[in-house]
């Protein structure tokens, strides 16, 4: 049990990487608050954890809204008496951020709001709690696109996803420097393409999937569990001297 007696908040816990992380954390002994914009999906993750005799609670909210972000953190502390780890996993890509027909500017704003501002808001409230309790671990799910460009999304080079994830990487480093002496570790994970609903349409197209997989030295995209295990390391005391790090989990993509 690598997270015995720890309390974790996982945003975006209703699907994909967040779902896999919440399930793994609970299996490793953590009490987990599964937060998501999609209530039904958050409840499903919680039901799965409880079926495996884990401890979890669902909380619905939008990470880009300050009162929701505050409620996620306060709700976690009220439910489980503390907060040891936060996984900022909620995120969107430009194609899915808003209904079709939205202006490029509105899409830019929404992607930035969820991916970058959402990470900032949840972390803002979490850090205040962790300062009082003597420390904690913040894990931001960035992307390889926070490190290298990828101008093939909606709008090509004008796609907001890449800049939003670059912002998450830099936000991570800034916070790590500022909060190191307070025992709050702040790291991010930079996943390569992972088989989740986020890129389902892309992966369900055999030609596009093959095109993508050929770009990976390992010849495949990743699985949500492969990111969850990286988050587990960063949430556990095994990573006690790791802070400010972008942990790349990408099947070798950025090694090229
Ligand atoms: N799948 C990939 O290829 C990939 C690669 C690199 C990074 N990531 C990042 O990993 C994270 C998780 O992505 P995923 O692939 O699991 O996607 P996903 O779509 O399967 O899950 C994302 C979850 O976030 C929730 N969400 C979206 N906006 C929200 C908001 N405003 N407030 C609260 N919850 C919200 C969604 O409801 C969903 O349950 C994202 O930050 C994504 O950018 C994904």
In a domain, 150, yes or no: yes
In a domain, 253, yes or no: no
The catalytic residues are: 161
pLDDT digits (tens, 9 = 90+) for 3-22: 999 999 999 999 999 999 99
In a domain, 250, yes or no: no
Please report, for the domain that includes residue 76, its CATH number.
3.40.50.720
In a domain, 82, yes or no: yes
Torsion on CA atoms 84, 167, 42, 194, rounded to nearest 10: -110
Check if 16 has its Cβ closer than 6 Å to any atom of ligand 1.
yes
With CA atoms as reference, report the closest residue to 21 among 199, 248, 224.
224
pLDDT digits (tens, 9 = 90+) for 158-185: 999 999 999 999 999 999 999 999 999 9
Tally of structural domains, the chain: 1
Query: What is the whole-number distance in angstroms between the Cα of residue 255 and the centre of ligand 1?
Result: 24
Give the domain extent around 40. Answer: 7-244
* CA–CA dist 255, 16 (Å, integer): 25
In a domain, 20, yes or no: yes
* pLDDT of 154: 72
pLDDT digits (tens, 9 = 90+) for 136-157: 999 999 999 999 999 887 779 9
Instruction: Read off the tokens for 143.
Output: 């992307």
Query: What is the whole-number distance in angstroms between the Cα of residue 2 and the centre of ligand 1?
Result: 25
In a domain, 23, yes or no: yes
Q: What value does the CA radius of gyration of the chain take, rounded to a whole number of Å? A: 17
| Residues in Cβ contact with 8 at an 8 Å cutoff, skipping those fewer than 6 apart | 22, 25, 30, 31, 32, 33, 83, 84, 85, 86, 87, 235
The reported pTM is 0.98
In a domain, 252, yes or no: no
């Amino acid at each position: 049990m690598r997270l015995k007696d720890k309390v974790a908040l996982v945003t975006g816990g209703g699907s994909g990487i967040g779902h896999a992380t919440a399930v793994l954390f609970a299996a490793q002994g953590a009490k987990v608050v599964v937060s998501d914009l999609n209530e039904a999906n958050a409840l499903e993750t919680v039901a799965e954890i409880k079926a495996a005799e884990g401890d979890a609670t669902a909380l619905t909210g939008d990470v880009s809204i300050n009162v929701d972000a505050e409620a996620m953190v306060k709700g976690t502390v009220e439910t489980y008496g503390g907060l040891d780890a936060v996984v900022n996993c909620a995120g969107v890509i430009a194609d899915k951020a808003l209904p079709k027909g939205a202006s490029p500017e509105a899409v830019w704003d929404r992607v930035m709001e969820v991916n970058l501002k959402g990470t900032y808001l949840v972390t803002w409230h979490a850090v205040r709690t962790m300062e009082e309790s003597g420390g904690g671990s913040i894990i931001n799910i960035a992307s390889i696109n926070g490190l290298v460009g990828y101008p093939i999304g909606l709008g090509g080079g004008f796609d907001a996803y890449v800049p939003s994830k670059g912002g998450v990487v830099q936000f991570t480093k800034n916070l790590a420097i500022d909060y190191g002496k307070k025992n709050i570790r702040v790291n991010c994970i930079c996943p390569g393409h992972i088989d989740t609903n986020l890129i389902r349409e892309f992966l369900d197209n055999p030609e596009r999937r093959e095109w993508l997989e050929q770009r990976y030295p390992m010849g495949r995209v990743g699985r949500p569990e492969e990111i969850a295990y990286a988050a587990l390391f960063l949430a556990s005391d095994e990573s006690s001297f790791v802070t400010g790090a972008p942990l790349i989990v990408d099947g070798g993509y950025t090694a090229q």
